[in-house]
Amino acid sequence: MSGRPKTPQASKTAIWNDPTFRAITFQVLASVAIIWFFWVIFDNTLTNMHNRGITTGFGFLNNTAGFGILMSLIDYDETYTYGRTFFVGLLNTLLVSFLGVICATVIGFIVGVARLSNNWLIGKMAAVYVESLRNVPLLLQIFFWNFAVIQPLLPSPKQSYALADMFFLNNRGAYLPKPHFDDRIWLAVVSIFVAIAAIIYMTKWARRRQEETGQPFHTFWAGLGILLGIPAVIYWISGVEFTVDYPVLTGFNMRGGTEIIPELLSLTLALSTYTASFIAEIVRSGILGISHGQTEAARALGLNHGYTLRLVVIPQAMRIIIPPLTSQYLNLVKNSSLATTIGYPDLVGVFMGTTLNQTGQAVEIVGMTLAVYLTISLVISAFMNWWNKHMALVER
C-alpha cells in the first residue's frame, strides 16, 4: 500500500560495511592509542629519571622539612615533615580562595547592579571600576596592594596602632587576643550546628506557611536570633572557662595572640577586586538578559526598584550568571598561586617552591600540586553545576 520497497531480510552486507561494527572498532582503536600514548610517556619519564640517577617516588614526604613557614592554620615547625608542609600550603590556599570568592561575589554583585543604576554618577563610577581593574595585570595589582597600599600605611612594630592594649596593628600583621578554652567548648561548637539545622528547618517551614496562608515571617531576624542565642545559652549553661593570650611587644615583634599577616589581606583585596570586575560584567549581562517585560510587570504590580531586582529579576538572571561565575571562581583559585611574589605561603610557594627545591623531586611535587588544583576546580564546578540545575527552569 505504501509503495515502500521492503528491505530484504536475508541479505547481509560485509561486516566492515556495518556502521555499528565500524564505530565500535574505531572507538576501541582510539582508546588503545590514547592509553598506549600515556603509558609510553609515563614509562619514558620513569626510565629517563632512573637512567640519570634522579630519585623517584614519594618517600621524601616523610623526611624532615627543616624550614619555617610564616603562617600556618595547623601546628607546624621545622621538625615536621614535607608532607605536613603540603597540608599547610593547601590550607593557606583554601583560606585565601574562600575569602576571595566571598568578597569577590559580594563586590561583583554590588558593582554589577550599580552599573545599571539610574544615577549617572554611580553608573559611571562602576564603569570606571570595571574597565580599569579588568585591564591591569593581576600581578601588578597584587604588588600595588602589598607594596603601595598595605605596607606603607602600616607602622613598624614599635609604633603599632593599639586598641585597648589588646588589638594591635602594624606592618607585620594584625594581632588579636587568643582565648584558650577548656574541653567543654565542644558543647558550644555542636550547638552551632544544631542552630544551623534549626534555621534551615525554620526557613522551609516559614516559606511553606507563606505559600499556604500568605503570611510573611521575619525569617532573617529569627534566624539571627537562633544562631546567636542557642550557642550563647549552651555556653553559659556549660560554664566553660577560658584564659586569654594577649599579644605583647617583645623585642622585634609582637608575641602571643592570633596573628593575621598583611600578605593575606593584600592578596585577598587584590584577588577579590580583580575578580569582582569580571563578576560585575557577568551580573550585568545576566540582568540585561531578562526580558524587560518582567521588570514592567513587576512595576505594574507595585514593587519598587529594589524589590523588583531582588525578587523578580535576579532569581531569573542567576541561570545566566552561574556558569560564567563558575569560571571566575576557578580563575580566582588558580590566580591565588601568585601569592609567592609577595611572600604569602600558599601551596605553590611552600610546596612547589621550597620543598621542590630542597628535595629536587620536581615531577612528583608538580604532579601533586596539579592534582590538588584540578580537584579544587572540579569540586567547585560540580557544586556550581548542581546549583545551576537547582535554579534551572522546569520546562512545561
Partner 1 sequence: MKKSITVFGVMAVSMIAATAQAGTLEDVKARGSLSCGVNTGVPGFSQPDEKNNWTGLDVDTCRAVAAAVLGDANKVSFKPLTTKERFTALQSGEIDVLARNTTWTQTRDTSLGLNFVGVNYYDGQGFLAHKALGVMSAKELDGASVCIQAGTTTELNLADYFRLHGMKYSSVVFDTPEQTREGFESGRCDIFTSDQSQLYAIRSKMADPASAVVLPEVISKEPLGPVVRQGDDAWFNIVKWTLFAQIEAEELGISSANVDDLKANTNNPGIKRILGTEDNAGERLGLSADWAYNAIKQVGNYGEMFERNVGPNTPLAISRGLNAQWNNGGILYAPPLR
Which residues would be at the binding site for partner 1 (CB under 8 A)? 40, 44, 47-49, 51-55, 66-70, 78, 147, 151-152, 156, 171-172, 250-253, 255, 262-263, 340-343, 345, 349-350, 352-354, 356-362
Rounded least distance, CB 12 to partner 1, Å: 24
In the complex with partner 1, the residue whose CB is nearer, 117 or 171, is 171
Rounded least distance, CB 55 to partner 1, Å: 4
Q: Max CA-CA distance within the chain?
A: 104
How many other C-beta atoms lie within 10 A of the C-beta of residue 81? 15
In the complex with partner 1, the residue whose CB is nearer, 68 or 315, is 68
Separation CA 278–CA 108 (nearest Å) = 7
Task: Name the residue among 68, 65, 84, 70 with its Cα closest to residue 345.
Answer: 70
Task: Name the residue among 280, 322, 324, 328 with its Cα closest to residue 111.
Answer: 280
In the complex with partner 1, the residue whose CB is nearer, 254 or 312, is 254
DSSP string of 172-183, one letter each residue: TEEEE-EEEE-T
Rounded least distance, CB 372 to partner 1, Å: 17
- Rounded to 5°, the CA angle 71-75-76 comes to 65
Rounded least distance, CB 251 to partner 1, Å: 4
Task: Name the residue among 93, 87, 61, 60 with its Cα closest to residue 74.
Answer: 87
Residue in the structure block whose three cell numbers are 574541653: 183
Rounded least distance, CB 280 to partner 1, Å: 30
- For residue 341, give the DSSP letter: G
Which whole-number Å values give the CA distances from 294 to 142, 220, 280, in the listed order? Answer: 41, 26, 21
In the complex with partner 1, the residue whose CB is nearer, 151 or 316, is 151
Rounded least distance, CB 176 to partner 1, Å: 17
Q: b or e along 188-224 (b: 16 or more beta carbons within 10 Å of the residue's beta carbon)?
A: beebeeebeebbeeeeeebeeeeeeeeeeeeeeebbe
In the complex with partner 1, the residue whose CB is nearer, 281 or 346, is 346
Handedness of CA 278, 279, 280, 284 (dihedral sign): positive
In the complex with partner 1, the residue whose CB is nearer, 142 or 309, is 142
Rounded least distance, CB 361 to partner 1, Å: 8
In the complex with partner 1, the residue whose CB is nearer, 49 or 116, is 49
